[in-house]
């Protein structure tokens, strides 16, 4: 039977950067993210022995580049002796542009493939399978604020706070369209091998995680803002200190960060974070969203602005 799942990307507030075991895709650090509500990937998976081979269709186009990664994930979910699969993926936001599309894609893929293969795994097991394909994807199995733990041999995620219990908004400034120059797996390895700041990054992560966890438990926006911006800039410092340097930002990225600083100086509850790409994600309180949107909208180089609330984890949806 075909199965369809939907998953939302998540945005890390305390970042995952670096692998402890690249073979099993185990992260070198824990991380904390927020799962979005309004950006999503819908994934339909059907195993069919009449097919001669796996077929991946992304946003209505056959895609061979991503197929090997998808196939490895399907083998993990349904077993290497599975039937060939037809996989249809659609996202309502730009993919491979630093918006965590691989997180929503692999979270949706494991949920759909597990159901299509009749396996019936629980969320924890599905998160572990998603995390083996893309570390951050494990967090998209959960909604609200999710923490990916860095311990043991299995990828483990906990929900720290449901979306409805702290309804923040995320406003994304698209500062460049098109694919990013270097994927996160390759970039993490360059950082691990060459950045003089990498070991300090690993050492300091537990204290950033504790600070963020406490801020979330207390719903303390200012404390969360401070540790999240610090952690983001530290991750990018690790990248900038790598050889060759890994620089995902452009001049508009910096203008957006400056705009957030300006809003903060006016008392607006907002902070920025940036992942492996040039887009700037501003997290703000619901009442401040329009101020953030107008500040980004006033920057000439911002190509688009997306906004979302916080949402739930990946789930199966009806086929209609
Ligand atoms: O899950 P990956 O391999 O795409 O790595 C994600 C890395 C960051 O987005 C930069 C940080 C994070 O925790 O999501």
Q: State how far the alpha carbon of 255 is from the alpha carbons of 12, 75, 175, 292, in Å.
A: 21, 44, 10, 13
Write the DSSP symbol of residue 92: S
Residue 142's CATH number: 3.30.230.10
Same domain, 127 and 267: no
Same domain, 188 and 48: no
d(CA 40, CA 61): 18
For residues 138 and 110, is the Cβ–Cβ distance under 8 A?
no
Same domain, 132 and 279: no
Q: Please tell me the total count of domains within the chain.
A: 2
Same domain, 207 and 296: yes
Where helices occur in the chain by DSSP H, the ranges are 67-78, 101-116, 123-133, 184-194, 198-217, 221-240, 251-265, 289-297
d(CA 140, CA 36): 9
Same domain, 231 and 283: yes
* Residue 255 resides in a domain: yes
Question: What is the pLDDT, as a whole number, of residue 181?
Answer: 82
Question: What is the pLDDT, as a whole number, of residue 320?
Answer: 64
Same domain, 134 and 212: no
Measured in Å, residue 266 CA sits from the centre of ligand 1 at: 31
Same domain, 64 and 144: yes
Question: What is the pLDDT, as a whole number, of residue 94?
Answer: 79
**Domain end call among 165, 197, 220:** 165
Which mutation among 128, 146, 184, 235 tests ligand 1's pocket best, with the greatest number of atoms within 8 A of CB? 184
Question: What is the pLDDT, as a whole number, of residue 179?
Answer: 77
Note the pTM of the prediction, 2 decimals.
0.96
Pick from 99, 52, 35: nearest CA to 314:
35
Q: State how far the alpha carbon of 160 is from the alpha carbons of 38, 125, 130, 145, 200, in Å.
A: 20, 18, 19, 5, 26
* Residue 318 resides in a domain: no
Same domain, 158 and 216: no
Q: Is 205 in the pocket of ligand 1 (CB under 6 A)?
A: no
* Residue 28 resides in a domain: yes
Residue nearest to atom 6 of ligand 1 (CA): 136
Same domain, 8 and 72: yes
Reading the block at residue 26, the tokens are 């185990």
d(CA 38, CA 40): 6
Q: In degrees rounded to 5, what are phi and psi of residue 275?
A: -105, -150
* Residue 315 resides in a domain: no
Question: What is the pLDDT, as a whole number, of residue 97?
Answer: 65
Residue whose pair of structure tokens reads 């300090």 in the numeric block: 200
Pick from 298, 187, 291: nearest CA to 252:
298
Residue 241's CATH number: 3.30.70.890
**Domain end call among 144, 165, 186:** 165
Domain, as residue range, for 65? 3-165
Which mutation among 104, 150, 276, 279 tests ligand 1's pocket best, with the greatest number of atoms within 8 A of CB? 276
* Residue 320 resides in a domain: no
Same domain, 55 and 103: yes
Pick from 136, 100, 147: nearest CA to 279:
100
Question: What is the pLDDT, as a whole number, of residue 10?
Answer: 97
Instruction: Name the CA dihedral angle for 134, 219, 281, 34, rounded to a multiple of 10 degrees.
Output: 20
**Domain end call among 165, 190, 206:** 165
* Residue 314 resides in a domain: no
Same domain, 98 and 224: no
For residues 101 and 9, is the Cβ–Cβ distance under 8 A?
yes
Q: Is 185 in the pocket of ligand 1 (CB under 6 A)?
A: yes
Same domain, 128 and 184: no
Going from the first residue of the chain to its last (320 residues), give the mean pLDDT of each consecutive group of 10, the final group possibly shorter: 96 97 94 97 97 96 96 97 97 78 95 98 97 96 97 91 97 89 93 98 98 98 98 98 97 98 98 96 98 98 96 91
Question: What is the pLDDT, as a whole number, of residue 153?
Answer: 86
Q: Is 136 in the pocket of ligand 1 (CB under 6 A)?
A: yes
Question: What is the pLDDT, as a whole number, of residue 289?
Answer: 98
* Residue 192 resides in a domain: yes
Pick from 283, 35, 299: nearest CA to 174:
299
* Residue 317 resides in a domain: no
């Amino acid at each position: 039977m075909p199965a369809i799942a939907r998953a939302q990307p998540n945005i890390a507030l305390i970042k995952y950067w670096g692998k402890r075991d690249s073979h099993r895709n185990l992260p070198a650090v824990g991380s904390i993210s927020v799962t979005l509500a309004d950006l999503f990937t819908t994934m339909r998976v059907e195993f069919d022995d009449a097919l001669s081979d796996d077929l991946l269709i992304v946003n209505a186009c056959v895609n061979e580049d991503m197929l090997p990664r998808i196939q490895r994930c399907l083998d993990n979910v349904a077993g290497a002796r599975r039937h060939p699969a037809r996989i249809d993926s659609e996202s309502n936001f730009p993919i491979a542009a630093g918006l965590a599309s691989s997180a929503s894609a692999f979270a949706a893929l494991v949920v759909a493939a597990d159901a299509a293969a009749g396996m019936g795994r629980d969320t924890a097991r599905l998160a572990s399978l998603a995390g083996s394909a893309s570390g951050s994807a494990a967090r998209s199995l959960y909604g609200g604020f999710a923490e990916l733990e860095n311990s043991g041999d299995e990828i483990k995620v906990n929900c720290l706070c449901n979306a409805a219990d702290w309804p923040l908004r995320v406003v994304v400034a698209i500062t460049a369209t098109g694919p990013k120059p270097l994927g996160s797996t390759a970039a993490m390895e360059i950082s691990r091998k060459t950045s003089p700041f990498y070991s300090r990054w690993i050492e300091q992560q537990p204290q950033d995680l504790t600070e963020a966890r406490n801020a979330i438990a207390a719903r303390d926006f200012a404390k969360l803002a401070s540790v999240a911006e610090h952690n983001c800039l530290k991750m990018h410092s690790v990248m900038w200190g790598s050889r060759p340097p890994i620089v995902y930002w452009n001049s508009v990225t910096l203008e957006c960060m400056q705009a957030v600083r300006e809003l903060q100086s006016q008392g607006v509850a907002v902070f920025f974070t940036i992942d492996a790409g040039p887009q700037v994600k501003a997290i703000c309180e619901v009442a401040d969203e329009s101020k953030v949107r107008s500040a980004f909208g006033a920057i000439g180089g911002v190509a688009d602005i997306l906004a979302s609330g916080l949402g739930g984890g990946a789930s199966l949806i009806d086929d209609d």
